[in-house]
Every structure is written in structure tokens, then in C-alpha cells.
Chain A
Amino acid sequence: MSEKLRVVHYLNQFYGGFGGEDTAGMGVTVKEGAVGPGMVLQAGLKGQGQIVATVICGDNYVTENIETAVPEIVKLVESFHPDLFVAGPGFNAGRYGLACGAITAAVTEKLHIPAVTGLYGENPGAELYKDRCWIVESGDHGKYLRASMQKMTDLALLLAKGEKPDASALGVVGSGPAPVIDYATPAAARAVNMLLAKFRGLPFETEVRMPQVEQIPLPVLNKPLSETKIALVTDGGLVPAGNPDHLPTVNSKIWLEYGLNGKDRLDAADYEVSHQGYDNTFVNADPNRLVPVDALRALTAEGKIASMYDGYFVTTGVRTTLENAKKFGRAIAEKLKDEGVDAVLLTST
């Protein structure tokens, strides 16, 4: 087709020229043609496309009302009959990233047109939407605008031509949009067709892609169990009576370590639970039910393991943020390695 592609671009309040945090609550608005970074997008399209409209919205407006704001924006985008949609890039901005991801995924799934955004790989918006739309790795700073916009437009133009690029070859975050499933054909027919294609070595597309769970190499013991030193960790909020270090009952931002002083078991009188997420009665009556000091001491004496780390680590696993959980894990792991601990039992509610 020699006709130029109609392109709609999405920007937040800042890149749209309305201001910073002060305008983050602004609702949806439209400007004709390219705005701000849209100029770079326009140039990157190399005459094959024309930005017909730029949709601008405040980050707070989108993220605080995501159920209604996203459909509202998609409807607006649709009214321009675009051939192509681009959002951002949002780099590492959290709320902007969520908006870019959510809107690009919605445009992909509802309007079925090529749609691309650019985000830093670790942006939460990228984490959430990387298997639902095309997210180009943009780097974490605005200085990468030109480079990331180039990658975005290259991908966008490929998609507009009807090509089906391979996500792993392209430097995108995640695997791109989820496969579109043809429910109008009964599943049994689809299944047999897919099997016969696979058997013959013909191309086929799976309807469900396995999510990328982080592949961490499997840790293995490098000595027999009877020679190991084992540590106990819990996120069940067990603390000394009186909670002297004020471990919170929810959303803990701290982890703590308490010595055992060679104790054979935990006495109910000495401990209590600071955790809102479960009925604490049973553990308060016998803390060993959560942190099994009595059992592990007995097993040590029997030679099952060589020794027990003489303390335990605790946090409260209710509404703990993913970030904090990772931080605690890293810090405790480091401490344990310094202390020559070989393996860990983590007890959760």
C-alpha cells in the first residue's frame, strides 16, 4: 500500500507538555499531529506513517482508575481509525510504565492493530504486560529516547507489514502479545490439527506460552546432609514476647534475627506472633509449630544434620512488597553464607 499508515501516539502529561506531578491527575485530551517525543517518532517512521493524533493523559488519572480510564482511552484511539499505535517510551517511570503497558495491551487485544511501547525491562509496567503486547527495551533514562524510538518504529513498521517477528530475536521485553485464539473452531479440532502439524514438522503456534519464570540455577548441597549446618527462617512473624523490635503485623519493611542461645525448644512464654494474616492461637501456644527448634535440635542430636544455626530469622509475610521480600532474602542469604550455613528451611503460614 502506498498510503501512509495512520498512527496514534500516547503520552503522559509530562511528555505531552502539560507539566509534571502537578498535572498528573489530568484526564484524557487529544492534540492533532505529533507532540514532544512524537517528533522523533514521526521522523523514525521515515515517511511511511503519519501521526494523526496524540492522546495525552495524566499518570495518576490512568493508574488510579485503570478499569475505566483504559477503556476510555482505547475508545478514543479507535475513533481515529489508526493502522498503528505507539505509547511512550516510558523508560523507568513507574506509573507511566503501567499506563503504557495497560493501554498498549488493551489496544492490542481490543483493536487488533499493531501496537508498540518502550519501557525499561524492570519497570513494573513491563513486568505486568510483557506477555500481552510488544514492549521494546528502552533503557532507563530519557537520554535513550532517540535510540529506543528507532527500535520501536522499526518493530512497528514490521508489524504493519503483517510480519510476525520473533520476540527473542528482537530485544523486546517478554514475548509480545498473547496468541489470538480461534474459539469458533472447536478445541478438539484445533488440537488434532496442531498435533498433525507438529508431527509433520510443519509450523504451528501454541495457544498458550509458558510465562518466563526466572531461571535461577538449582542450588545443590555440596556435602552429605549429615555434615550440613541448617538455618531456620520464617515469614510467620514470630518474635520474642513483647515484640521488642516492633516487627509490624503487616507490610513489614524489616527483617530480624533472634539468637537461640543453645535452646532446645521455644517456650510459649518467651514468644508471640506479630502477623495479621492468620489465627495466631496455635503458634502462640507452641511456637515450635512455626519455627521447629525442638524438632531440628532433636534431629541434630541424632546426627541427621551436623549443626543448627543458633538463631532464626523472621519477617511478616503479609502484604510485604515484592521489592522488600527480595531485599530481605538477599540480606539474610548473605548473612547465612558468611556464617557457613549450607541450607535453609523457610516456614510460612
Chain B
Amino acid sequence: MSSKLTIGTIYVKNVEWGEVSRLENGNLTLNKNELLDAIAADCEFFGTVKLHIVRPGDSTRLLAIEDVMQPRCKADAPENSYPGLWGRLAPAGEGTTLALKGVVVSDIYYEKLNIKWYLDMKGECAKYSQFSKQFHVVLDAKPKEGVEPLSYARALKHASLTINVTIAKLGLGQPFDTEETFSLGPVGPGPDGKPLPRVAYAVVHAAQNDTWNFLVYGQSALGFLPTILQPAEVLDGAMIWRYWEPNYYLQNENFIMELMRRHGKDLEFVGCVISNNVMRIDDKETMAMMSARLCRDTLKADCVLVNKSGMGHAQLDASLNFIWMEKMGMPAVVNLAAVSNDKPCDNLVVFNPKVDAVINSSRNYILHHDRVETLIGADADVPSLRGIDPWGPFEHTTAAAYQGHMNQLGDFFMTADSDLAWNE
């Protein structure tokens, strides 16, 4: 018996403020006051609160844009969306989930975070981000004086998810434009008559502190040991970063989706081990060994894809995972985002010759950013832009700065969201 998750997508091609909130033929109208009322409880933690609609092609730059999410809700029980964190507790990764595509909900974050990002909706550099292809409903809320960073982070994410589900619900009852079903049922032999290779996915995720963390059904991952999650749970809102990279990338986890799509075709996807990017070398070894054990003895994998969502330190965790997988008899391949032998701004910090099969999922560029007419998040501190006029023009590397260009898990603007086009 295996669970089945169906994601039904409705494409949105325009977003506007209006009197009546509705979604009709791809046109999304939102009543701003209704949205503000819906997040009133969280607004207790905020000072000024603004909501913006930002369009592809707007001369707008968003500073400190720290989360971007696809509006989604559980079609049969929207109150169970993002269970344990926002919605009522229920297993994620089964049933039907409605997703809107073409519009995203984005969070501007006014406290300190590990990386602060920015995004341009227009200009040459807009073509280097997958997020400038979509309309953004932007939650722009500053912390109230005296509010602790963690309280602000909790309230902001909660409010953002409220907006997220409220918008998604506007599509309920309407036909999907496309749908896809994810399920990991039993498989037969391959075309050559031999059993398909059993592939596990081992991914190291950064959980460093209260506001650089991932949550599983709302449970903080700080102190987590390696754990097995159903791949569809990751796609369906069981796991949320607060705050790290846009959760859009978990909703559309690229390695999980690739493995699920090829399940039964040229491989058998046996499951997913999630571990925590810890800070001391001996602990990293321990986590890697435990992950390898789960892959070999619980998932019974023949080979493993290793990935990471973290930065330099996490390269070490990922390579230790790789080495332990191979020590336990499972050939491995590891993805290290944007490291390379030959491009500037990219840093490989691992030097072990045993790591002999590496994917380098993306690379960085130095981009020119025009002067913009609108700057959202102008009061937010973006350390990489200190000393630079954020209105532009300026030149800057995309590395750890430009939102939607790439992410640690393997997405790259060049091939992401290929069903959407940039505004010309």
C-alpha cells in the first residue's frame, strides 16, 4: 500500500486588487482588506504592515525577499494545509492538493538572517531569476518595537501562510489546467528483465538556529537525527524552512520530483533520508554514518543521490554522506551547487579525491542592475548591498544575493519553471 498525492495546477495570468476576491479564467482579484483581516492576529507582532502586488516587468526591486511560495491548499480539507505549522495536523503527501502557478506569496524580512536576497522584476537581470516570471503578492511587515526576532519570524511565516492558503482556496471547485500524481507503488523489472536499481535520496538540510531552521509538521529540526520522510511529504508542505531559501524549492523539490517521475521507468525510488547540517566535524561524521545506515538497511538502496541545502560547511556534510554511502557498498553521486574549477565567486571547500562523482548544479554571474522606480523593503538591511545605492544602477554577483537565480538543492534559472515565460 502506498500513498498517492495528486497536485492539480491552475495557471494565473493576472493579479489585481479589487472589491471581490476571486479567481476566474486565470485572473486573480484580491480584496486587500480581507487579506489584512485574515492576518490580524499575527499583526500584533508587526509595526507597519503593507501588502503589494508586483508584476513581471515592473520597474521594481524587492529587498530582503526571504521567502517565495506557491499558493497551495489541500483540496478536500484546506484547514489541513501546511499541517502542524499552520494547519491542523494531518498526514501530508496524500490526497489532492490545489496549486496556483503564475502567482507567488513573498515575504520581506526585516531582521537579521544568514543571507539577505534581492530580486528585480525588470531588465536584463530579471532573466536570471525564475521568480521574475510570476506575479508576487508581497507581505511587507516590519517587527513591532520590542518584539523578539523569533516571535517576528513565527508571526511573519504564519501570516504569509494564511495569505497563501486564502489565495489558493479561491481556485477550489475549478478545473485544473494540469495535474500530476506522485506515488511510489511496486515496480517490475526493467526493459532488460533485470530488477530496476533501488535509488535512495539523502539530503542534508541546514538547521542552525531558531531563524535558520527547517520545521517538520511544525517541529523544529534543531537537534534532529537523520530521519526518513516520505518524498511526497516534502512536496506537500510537511517541511518548511523558516527562514532559509524560498519554500517554493521544497514545494517543487527538483531531485524528489525527478526521482518520482522516473520511478518504475529506469529506477525504483526507495525513499528519502533527511539529515541536519551540524557544526562540528565529529558530529557531521556521525550523522553521515547514520544516514548511510538508513539508506542501506532500512530503505535497502543499491545506490544513493546525495544533496545538500546549506553552504560551505554543508559541502563537508554532503561529502561525508557520499563517503559513508560508498563505504557501505552503495555507489553515490553528490550535488554541490555552484562550485567549479573555473568560475569566479564559486568556492569548493571540499578536497577529498574519493568524491569522484559530482554534479555542479549551477553557476554564478555578475549582473548589471538598472535604476528602479519602486524599491520594496527599502528599510531592510541587505548586507551584500551595504555601501551601494539599492535603487541602482549597480553591478553585483548573483552569489548569495540574487533571489531565484539558483538554489542549493539544484534548481537553476535556466531550466526552472520552463512552463512559464519571462515578460518581454
Contact between chain A and chain B defined by CB under 8 Å = yes
Residues of chain A at the chain B interface (Cβ within 8 Å):
105, 109, 131-132, 177-179, 181, 183-192, 194-196, 198-200, 204, 206-213
Contacts of B348 in A (CB 8 A): 208, 210-211
Contacts of A191 in B (CB 8 A): 255, 258, 305, 307, 333, 335, 359, 361, 410
Contacts of B331 in A (CB 8 A): 195, 198-199
CB-CB under 8 A for A207 and B360, given A183-B414, A188-B257, A192-B305: yes
Complex CA gap A226/B46 in Å reads 59
Complex CA gap A132/B411 in Å reads 25
B187, chain A: closest CB distance, angstroms: 14
User: Mind listing 26 A-B residue pairs with CB under 8 Å?
Assistant: A105-B342, A131-B342, A178-B341, A181-B360, A183-B363, A186-B258, A187-B362, A187-B410, A187-B411, A188-B255, A188-B410, A191-B258, A191-B305, A191-B307, A191-B410, A192-B199, A192-B262, A195-B333, A196-B197, A196-B303, A198-B333, A206-B356, A207-B340, A208-B340, A210-B353, A211-B351
A208–B197 contact, CB under 8 A? no
Contacts of A190 in B (CB 8 A): 359
A208–B360 contact, CB under 8 A? yes
Contacts of A177 in B (CB 8 A): 342
Contacts of A209 in B (CB 8 A): 341
Contacts of A184 in B (CB 8 A): 414-415
CB-CB under 8 A for A196 and B267, given A187-B359, A191-B305, A208-B339: yes
A207–B352 contact, CB under 8 A? no
Complex CA gap A134/B262 in Å reads 38
B352–A210 contact, CB under 8 A? yes
Residue of B whose beta carbon sits closest to that of A185: B415
B332–A196 contact, CB under 8 A? no
A199–B360 contact, CB under 8 A? no
Residue of A whose beta carbon sits closest to that of B303: A199
Residue of A whose beta carbon sits closest to that of B319: A210
Residue of A whose beta carbon sits closest to that of B258: A188
Contacts of A183 in B (CB 8 A): 362-363, 412, 414-415
Residue of B whose beta carbon sits closest to that of A180: B342
B210, chain A: closest CB distance, angstroms: 29
Contacts of A204 in B (CB 8 A): 357
B396, chain A: closest CB distance, angstroms: 17
A327, chain B: closest CB distance, angstroms: 24
A207–B415 contact, CB under 8 A? no
Residue of A whose beta carbon sits closest to that of B334: A191
Q: Is B254 an interface residue (CB 8 A)?
A: yes
Complex CA gap A209/B348 in Å reads 10
CB-CB under 8 A for A178 and B342, given A187-B412, A211-B351: yes
A109–B267 contact, CB under 8 A? no
Contacts of B335 in A (CB 8 A): 187, 191
Contacts of B352 in A (CB 8 A): 210
B351–A213 contact, CB under 8 A? yes
